[in-house]
Structure 1
């Protein structure tokens, strides 16, 4: 059967279609999913996770595009359905490594979808800009990209607390990357109450950013509490029924990010056995979601290696061979340019992580007399490539206490 018709048939013939969770956004006045939304939900599940083995991303994209075309300009629920499909298209493009095309699709979403979906598109647009290493001003707003008059929404995004929390959390994350800790605090202060109710209205992503802020400023007790809440909420979350997120901000990415960041916090707290457990889980999540040779696997491997470094320092032991193997594999997976190449002066994906991994690797070489020259070259390369606004490379490499720890966010592949 034609895959598009197959997806439609499953939605239309099912007596009780599994709807998108009503808590994520308003659907029909009765509180349930409309038929267009149920149809779109089935198509998204099929395209992003339920397609038959061997089906191609191009086939999945055709399914989503056909669904959006059929539902465009329809009646009740069609705006939400189209929004779902367009966010899913962006995710599919992102997963295929087509970041710029994903951003173009997000921009198109702002022209047709209801406000909640436009906020999700803005959130992902900022996430992709951060991943690309772009410098973003915290004054950027959904109003810059979102025409709030579209679809005659009864209320603006700013009138909905959970949506405003998501916007503030992204601005707080941007502020952290820019080294503006006080500004970040102001943004996160605006969503503290909603963070306390993590698990409602898809705020897990926003709360993870708040966790990382607490982690960065050294509030380890509260960061621990909030990380654990996020992980608990994500364990109970039906990720296949979550349609109000896209690209590197989808629940699977949040789950990976929370697991890896919590593992880093445990490592910073000297709880190395627990840290190893969570970072191992994060590594398995990354490999299962993206494949063993995806850059996100390299990001987690870097965090694992850093954990072993802290553990060896705390215990007065040595794990040079283990660390070196992990850094070498991480740099290979991240496709780091050769030290003698000109790649560092050009646009380089995952610059933060590659620079950090190379800096850590250099430190291992510098303590070995027969490899000191190699270590000096690697250190010089890392220092030249480093672009972080909050930390110098020396600060990132040296953890002396909770006042200014290095936190790696796997969602955006950046160091904070």
Structure 2
């Protein structure tokens, strides 16, 4: 568990005052008695992606927004510690106590936010624990609990725990099958799309198709379910529709962000991760089509989003940089040009950010465990080619290629398939949310 007291920065003394201000100076809206709401204000949003601000305790929403803003001021141990300290206060005060929907919604979105910060710091176990706690809020809006299931599955996928992710997806569908709420049909589409994403990760493209509903183009066009659908379309060579989906997601996510309503997502499935993922996927699509100017523009936006959200030393930045490096590789091959120095610089930075070990193993047959192995292997494999075309670095390139093949875990294709070195016509896309190759 994050030890806030030991890790807070010098901002800690003033932060305590700020937290106390929330506790001792409530707004005119009582924290113990929620303001009376018209029946219509508890309406279910048709897409289940947002929570109407009126459906939560206003002071709780403000505290959550404050916590997220403070955590990301400089993305340090101290700033994240402050953000999580504020969220801990939020879920242990009158702001979120009570079994009525308004208080349970407030507690639910606070736990979602807390899990997001934990996951960004690499504390996945604690993040998943917070998400599982959301399932105890049986009076909250159904979309809050679905968002928690989606985020939990997303974190399992990033950790390479695909069977656990699938089990969480099954629980989500099971929950919705028992509901008759107004928004349950849209949420069922979202839950099935989660299962579709899991099948894509496993390399089962044909099985994935059954889980994607065409209503994703309209009902949930702004959320993570739509992004998974767009990635499915791209792997099926349906580039025009995939491009339309990605563009809709970016536009819709921007609208949601500007609305001020809490987005029902968390962990690597939060709103910022969604925007980064859609920009990155769209850039990869344009690169595949040979539109390198457009590709560079979208991938640069994805990189800026990643750095703004996570900081420039976060592994997610390395995932986006891998997409950029591979774009330059494809451009050089198609235009018969050279970008060796640019590519090598990018691959070296990716290796650093993803903490990929050296290409040599300690003993014959020993392969180190590598986080985000799909991306690491792809980057190392492409880097090995850059080295191999340099006469004095061929041996280094060969060792790196052997290492990349050793850590490759994708069941759908070989590393050579992914690098385009075979006759395979398979199309893949990097999902920047979960750091996996689909």
Pairwise mapping of residues 17-416 of structure 1 onto structure 2 (< 5 A)?
Answer: 23=45, 33-34=54-55, 36-50=56-70, 56-70=79-93, 71-113=96-138, 114=140, 115-136=142-163, 140-142=167-169, 144=171, 148=175, 155=179, 160-188=184-212, 191-199=213-221, 203-238=222-257, 241-342=261-362, 345-398=367-420, 403-416=425-438
Q: Are the structure 2 counterparts of residues 142 and 279 from structure 1 closer, same or farther at C-alpha, using a change threshold of 3 Å?
A: closer
Is 1:6 the equivalent of 2:15? no
Quick one: distance in 2 between partners of 1:369 and 1:353?
A: 27
RMSD over aligned CA atoms reads 3.3
Contact kept? 2:216, 2:225, Cα under 8 Å: no
Report the CA distance between 1:75 and its aligned residue. 3.6
Point out where structure 2 has 5 or more consecutive residues left out of the alignment: 1-15, 36-40
Quick one: distance in 1 between partners of 2:376 and 2:20?
A: 45
Quick one: distance in 2 between partners of 1:27 and 1:336?
A: 37
Report the CA distance between 1:300 and its aligned residue. 1.1
Quick one: distance in 1 between partners of 2:311 and 2:373?
A: 21
Q: Which moved more, 1:359-368 or 1:136-145?
A: 136-145
Quick one: distance in 2 between partners of 1:235 and 1:25?
A: 16
Report the CA distance between 1:142 and its aligned residue. 4.9
Contact kept? 2:156, 2:164, Cα under 8 Å: no
Contact kept? 1:11, 1:42, Cα under 8 Å: no
Contact kept? 1:122, 1:145, Cα under 8 Å: yes
Quick one: distance in 2 between partners of 1:51 and 1:219?
A: 39
Quick one: distance in 1 between partners of 2:207 and 2:42?
A: 35
Report the CA distance between 1:118 and its aligned residue. 1.8
Q: Deviations over 1:155-180 (max 9, x none)?
A: 35797122112211111111011111
Q: Are the structure 2 counterparts of residues 22 and 196 from structure 1 closer, same or farther at C-alpha, using a change threshold of 3 Å?
A: closer
Quick one: distance in 1 between partners of 2:326 and 2:110?
A: 39
> TM-score scaled by structure 2?
0.83
Report the CA distance between 1:399 and its aligned residue. 7.3
Q: Are the structure 2 counterparts of residues 245 and 311 from structure 1 closer, same or farther at C-alpha, using a change threshold of 3 Å?
A: same
Report the CA distance between 1:196 and its aligned residue. 2.6
Quick one: distance in 2 between partners of 1:106 and 1:160?
A: 20
Q: Are the structure 2 counterparts of residues 274 and 238 from structure 1 closer, same or farther at C-alpha, using a change threshold of 3 Å?
A: same
Q: Deviations over 1:222-246 (max 9, x none)?
A: 1111111112212322265324111
Report the CA distance between 1:377 and its aligned residue. 0.4
Contact kept? 2:416, 2:422, Cα under 8 Å: no
Point out where structure 1 has 5 or more consecutive residues left out of the alignment: none
Q: Are the structure 2 counterparts of residues 337 and 67 from structure 1 closer, same or farther at C-alpha, using a change threshold of 3 Å?
A: same
Quick one: distance in 1 between partners of 2:328 and 2:172?
A: 43
Contact kept? 2:429, 2:437, Cα under 8 Å: yes
Q: Which moved more, 1:331-340 or 1:355-364?
A: 331-340
Contact kept? 2:318, 2:349, Cα under 8 Å: yes
Quick one: distance in 2 between partners of 1:126 and 1:11?
A: 36
Report the CA distance between 1:330 and its aligned residue. 1.1
Q: Are the structure 2 counterparts of residues 52 and 117 from structure 1 closer, same or farther at C-alpha, using a change threshold of 3 Å?
A: closer
> TM-score scaled by structure 1?
0.87
Q: Are the structure 2 counterparts of residues 147 and 61 from structure 1 closer, same or farther at C-alpha, using a change threshold of 3 Å?
A: farther
Quick one: distance in 2 between partners of 1:27 and 1:207?
A: 15
